[in-house]
Amino acid sequence: MELFFIPSPGDGHLRPLVEVAKLLVDREDHLSVTIVIIPPMHGFGTGNSSSYIASLSTASEHRLRYNVLSVAKKPKSDDDPKTSFLSYIESFKPQIRATVEKLTDPAQAESSPKLAGFVVDMFCTGMIDLANEFGVPSYLFYTSNATFLGLQVHFQYLYDVEKLDVSDLKDSETTTELEIPSLTRPFPVKCIPSVMLNKEWLPIILGQARRFQETKGILVNSFAELEPQAMKFFSGGDRPLPPVYPVGPVMNLKTNGSDSSDDKQSEILRWLDEQPSKSVVFLCFGSMGGFNEEQAKEIAVALERSGNRFLWSLRRAPPKGTIGPPGEFTNLDEILPEGFLDRTKEIGKIIGWAPQTAVLANPAIGGFVSHCGWNSTLESLWFGVPIATWPLYAEQQVNAFEMVEELGLAVEIRNSFRSDFMVAETEFMTAEEVERGIRCVMEQDSDVRERVKEMSEKSHVALMDGGSSNDALLKFIQDVTKNIP
């Protein structure tokens, strides 16, 4: 039987979906997977993402194939990120349809496999239409966590059933908290992602949630022990949701860089090897995280005042009002406090791109100042490194609230501000706030550090034979087999 995987463009969505596909073919000999790769959108496919896709295109094997689509024509210029991103994905429907037809046509393939269904990314729900055309089930791969899935589904319920539009709460002075069934404690309105408080974006988010319910099952990149309240909500049966399979943590733990960065990586890891155990704070803000000069200066002041050793992945934010990946600062002497580089050269290292998983795995790392992207959060838990939360965009404020308030697995720098969707530009964070977060996350015998260590062990057990995520994956395979038309 054959499953077609359709990830949305972007490293953070493609990599975990590839790892899920590997797990599936490892667990089930009668299953094969074709991953149809939509190339990165113009302006976003630079560097590591492109080299990763190139490595996949040569890595196809008997039961796990990668099919990289081509951009037939440059999409029309569109300044509106919501319509341009979603219409870009939709524009690949004809190519994907042709790919599926070719691979499942008995006349074209000697032993064409039985098409068992489509597994689509959370941003590719339009591809459910293709699964319907082929008369097969569709499944969803939710790259974020179970709590955010619960929040998205709950907001759709509030809108459709209770007639409450959460975007009306943006400037509310009366409603400051909401009860969310996937959380045990009230959720502050100030932490609702900006995208859900936007009158133009909210209908798209709610429309996605409605389509989730058309699928036969939802794979979530989490594990039952991490998010017990969300799993309790999903198994409660009072909402029309398909089965939810927590199969995580699903991570690509190999070097997440290109060949050209091997020398840089070796130099970074060599430096870390010379530092004492748990003595270094690592600052890294994901593929979209960058800062302006003023904010970079405040971070530098905070690092120097804290007195901690540090490894800082410093990127320059794109120009105000534009969307795109961060760039590099050309002259650090010009933007950092005078003499900072000289004064900290023995204890600190500033880098551009960071081999994040290799860094987090190093014993020298004692704390992680992070944007709280879900992949980064799972990696930090896997390696037992506590986080100081500095969310920037998308659903990262929800992740930060869950980690700090709900689970006690992180410390907070700040989590109450508004930024635009996919624009990694937050309110100005002072040196005092950042320093406090660094000191807190680097405490050696804190309760948070102890809880992170325990959750790290649980994350490893979840993937072993008899572990909760392994069992969920086997249940998914069973259900896929049962649902074959």
Predicted confidence at residue 38, as pLDDT, reads 94
Q: What is the mean pLDDT of each run of 10 residues along the chain (485 residues)?
A: 94 94 96 94 64 86 92 58 80 95 76 90 96 97 97 96 94 91 95 90 94 97 98 85 96 61 88 98 91 95 98 90 81 95 97 94 98 97 98 92 97 73 65 98 97 98 98 98 94
Give the homologous superfamily in CATH for domain 2-252+465-483.
Glycogen Phosphorylase B; (3.40.50.2000)
**Arch. (CATH architecture) of 261-459:** 3-Layer(aba) Sandwich (3.40)
CA distance to 177, 246, 295, 352, 480, per residue, from 467 (Å): 35, 11, 43, 37, 20
Predicted confidence at residue 103, as pLDDT, reads 84
Per the CB < 8 A criterion, the answer to whether 67 and 37 are in contact is yes
Predicted confidence at residue 398, as pLDDT, reads 95
Q: What is the CA radius of gyration of the chain?
A: 22
Domain ranges of the chain: 2-252+465-483, 261-459
Predicted confidence at residue 72, as pLDDT, reads 58
What's the chain's length in residues?
485
Predicted confidence at residue 256, as pLDDT, reads 46
* Sign of the CA dihedral running 445, 447, 450, 452: negative
Tell me if 2-252+465-483 shares its fold with 261-459.
yes
Q: How many degrees, rounded to 5, is the angle at CA 363 between CA 362 and CA 369?
A: 70
